[in-house]
Amino acid sequence: MRLHVENLACSRGERRIFEGLSFALDSGDALLVLGRNGAGKSSLLDILAGRLAPAGGSLALEEAGGRSLSECLHYVGHRDALKAALTAEENLTFARDFLGSPALAPREALAALGLAHAARLPVAYLSAGQRRRVALARLLVAERSLWLLDEPTAALDAASQETLLRLIDEHRRKGGIVIATTHQPLALAEAKTIRIERPAPDRSAFVVADGEGA
Ligand SMILES: Nc1ncnc2c1ncn2[C@@H]1O[C@H](COP(=O)(O)OP(=O)(O)OP(=O)(O)O)[C@@H](O)[C@H]1O
C-alpha cells in the first residue's frame, strides 16, 4: 500500500492554511505532523479522512486491493467522538459494526488498552485519559490499514503512552501506515516528519520541511 500526497493545499473559509504539501508513505511507514497551534495539522488529517475538501493538489492510495482511501482508514480525532450514555463496550460494538472488517472483540480491545474493568461503565463516568483509551481501542476492533491520529497521546499517562506506541509498532509491522499529529515527542522508530509552518514575512510561500525522526 502506498499513500501519495502531492502539492496539497488547504483553505478554511477565505483563508489559505497551507499549500505545497507533498509526501509519500509506504506500508510500515509512520509520519509525524508537527507545527504550532493553528498551523493546519488537524486540517491535514481532516482532508486525508475525507472530512474536508482540499483546496488543491491530490491524494491517492495505491496498491490497496481496489479499496478506496475511506475504506482503508481509521480516524481518531482530538475529540474522542464517543457516545457518553453508552458503555465503553457498547461504543466499541457500534464502531465495529459501523466500520466493518471486524478484528478484536470489543472486550479484547479494551483489555489491550488496560480498560477491561471499565467495559460496562457508561463513557460519561470515565476520566479523560480513560475516554481517550476507549477512542484508541476503536483502532483494534476493525481492521484498517491507515491510522490517522490527532494528538493521540493527549490525556494519556506514561504507561498508556507506552501501550499506544507498542500498538502502533505492531500495526506498522503488519504493514499498516500511521500518520499522527503531535506537540509531544513521540518515540516512533524511523518515523518521517513534516512540519507545517507559516511563511516568514519575507517569503511568499508556505514552508513544508520534512526529514527523518521525531
Ligand atoms: N471549521 C473551521 N472553519 C474555519 N476555520 C477553521 C475551521 N477549523 C479550523 N479552522 C482554522 O484553521 C486553522 C488550522 O486549524 P487546525 O485545527 O488544523 O490547526 P492545528 O495545527 O491542528 O492546531 P492545534 O495544534 O491547535 O490543534 C486555524 O486557524 C483554525 O482556526
DSSP letter at 61 equals E
**Phi, psi dihedrals of residue 41, rounded to the nearest 5°:** -65, -50
CA dist., res. 113 & res. 132, Å (int) = 10
Residue 182 has pLDDT above 80, yes or no: yes
Contact between residue 188 and residue 3 where contact means Cβ atoms under 8 Å apart = no
**To the nearest whole number, what is the mean pLDDT of the chain?**
91
CA of 100 to the centre of ligand 1 (A): 30
CA dist., res. 133 & res. 143, Å (int) = 17
Dihedral, CA of residue 27, residue 152, residue 49 and residue 194, to nearest 10: -60
pLDDT for residue 185: 81
pLDDT tens digits along 45-84: 999 999 999 999 999 999 888 889 999 999 999 888 999 9
Q: Which residues contact 115 (CB under 8 A, 6 or more apart)?
A: 88, 130, 133, 134, 137
Question: Which of 10, 19, 43, 148 maximizes ligand 1 atoms within 8 Å of its Cβ, making it the mutation to test the pocket?
Answer: 43
Residue with cell 493527549: 154
90 burial level (CB within 10 Å; 0-12, 13-18, 19+): middle
Question: Which residue has the least CA distance to atom 30 on ligand 1?
Answer: 38
pLDDT for residue 60: 94
Beta strands in the chain (DSSP E): 2-12, 15-26, 30-34, 56-62, 73-76, 146-150, 177-181, 192-197, 207-212
ipTM of model: 0.96
CA distances from 131 to 67, 93, 99 (A): 30, 15, 19
Pocket of ligand 1 (CB under 6 A): 12-13, 17, 35, 37-43
Give the DSSP H/E element, type plus range, for residue 172: helix 158-173
* Ligand 1 atom closest to Cα of residue 183: 25
Q: How confident is the model at residue 199 (pLDDT cuts 50, 70, 90)?
A: low
Q: By mean pLDDT, which of 56-60, 126-130, 180-184 is the weakest? A: 180-184
CA of 196 to the centre of ligand 1 (A): 12
**Is pLDDT larger for residue 156 or for residue 210?**
156
pLDDT for residue 214: 38
Over range 139-168, report the average pLDDT.
95
Torsion sign, CA atoms 8, 36, 25, 110 = negative
Query: Do you know the residue count of the chain?
Result: 214
pLDDT for residue 88: 96
Q: How confident is the model at residue 198 (pLDDT cuts 50, 70, 90)?
A: confident
